[in-house]
Amino acid sequence: MDSLLLAMVEEGGGVRFNPDLLGTNALNIFLVLGLLIYYGRGFLGNLLGERRQTIAQTIGRAETAQKEAAGALTTAQKNLAQAQATAAQLQQEGVAKAAQMRSAILALAAQEVERIGLQAQQSIELEQERTVEGIRQRITALTLAQVTAQLQQRLTPEVQSRLIDQGIARLGGGV
Query: Confidence class of residue 70 from pLDDT cuts 50, 70 and 90?
Result: very high
* 3-class secondary-structure state, position 14: coil
pTM score: 0.40
pLDDT-derived band at 127, boundaries 50, 70, 90? very high
pLDDT for the residue numbered 8? 43
**DSSP, res 46:** H
Burial 4-31 (b: 16+ CB within 10 A, else e): eeeeeeeeeeeeeeeeeeeebeebeeee
How far is Cα 56 from Cα 50, in angstroms, rounded to an integer? 10
pLDDT at 119 > cutoff 60? yes
Q: What are phi and psi of 88, to 5 degrees?
A: -65, -40
Buried b (16+ CB within 10 A) or exposed e, 127-156: eeeeeeeeeeeeeeeeeeeeeeeeeeeeee
CA distances from residue 79 to 65, 70, 87 in whole angstroms, order as listed: 20, 14, 12
Residue 17 has pLDDT above 80, yes or no: no
To the nearest whole percent, how much of the chain has pLDDT over 70? 85
Rounded to the nearest integer, the mean pLDDT of the chain is 85
